[in-house]
Amino acid sequence: MHALVINCSPVKTGATAEICRIVSEELASRYSVKSICIDDYDFSFCRGCRTCHETAKCVMEDDVANIMDEFEAADIIVSVSPSYWADIPGQFKAFIDRCTPWCNTHEPHASLSPGKKGYSIALRTGPNMPECERVISSIEHFYGHLEIECCGKLGLPAVEFKENVEPRKQEIIAFCREI
Ligand SMILES: Cc1cc2nc3c(=O)[nH]c(=O)nc-3n(C[C@H](O)[C@H](O)[C@H](O)COP(=O)(O)O)c2cc1C
């Protein structure tokens, strides 16, 4: 079984990256794990042309196809996202917009193989959970339209820097044991 862990932040050395590292380490005994960062990929914004509503294909050719290859190869997808202005970072939102060819609200649409399970982890600097829930609901909305089953979520408020992750390690490990 293959697990894909996605750092949805553009920061490759921050708190999100540290959570991804812990998750990948925890899953490695049960899954073959691939860890990626949204910032490793180069892709354009969706232009909203809706050609994909007729063709199930995007008019642009770039790294979105490479990310989707990783989704296709995975049985389990874990998206780890910080809150940027109370939602997912723009880079990850730009990727989701470009997944419109795979969105199940129009026919024809591209499809991932069935049976994939999606997990969401949200972190933020502020102390309260509702903003984490908002980030998680953006990820789960995306999973839903790609027919990836939403199977678990973890909110981690009061995390800003890499150093703030260590005291939360047991929470993260407990979450991973349910995956
Ligand atoms: C552009 C930007 C916007 C942010 N907006 C919020 C916010 O609205 N609420 C919040 O609690 N934290 C916010 N944060 C803090 C991040 O959620 C927090 O620092 C997180 O740990 C960042 O992880 P990263 O460095 O791995 O991207 C913001 C950080 C940045 C850089």
Question: What is the atom index within ligand 1 of the atom nearest the CA of 18?
Answer: 26
Q: Which residues line ligand 1 (CB under 6 A)?
A: 9, 11, 14-17, 82-86, 123-126, 131, 159-160
Across the beta sheet with 117-123, the strand order is 32-37, 2-7, 76-82, 117-123, 149-156
DSSP state of 84: B
Looking at residue 92, what is its pLDDT?
98
Residue nearest to ligand 1 atom 28, measured at CA: 84
Average pLDDT, the chain: 98
pLDDT band at 166 (very low <50, low <70, confident <90, very high): very high
Instruction: Judge whether 62 and 43 are in contact, CB under 8 Å.
Output: yes
Instruction: Judge whether 87 and 45 are in contact, CB under 8 Å.
Output: no
Question: What is the atom index within ligand 1 of the atom nearest the CA of 87?
Answer: 8
Looking at residue 15, what is its pLDDT?
98
Average pLDDT rounded to a whole number, residues 147-175: 98
For residue 150, give the nearest of 116, 109, 104 by alpha carbon.
116
Looking at residue 117, what is its pLDDT?
98
Query: pLDDT tens across 32-88, in order?
Result: 999 999 999 999 999 999 999 999 999 999 999 999 999 999 999 999 999 999 999
Query: pLDDT tens across 97-127, in order?
Result: 999 999 999 999 999 999 999 999 999 999 9
- Domains along the sequence of the chain with CATH: 2-177 (3.40.50.360)
Global model pTM greater than 0.75: yes
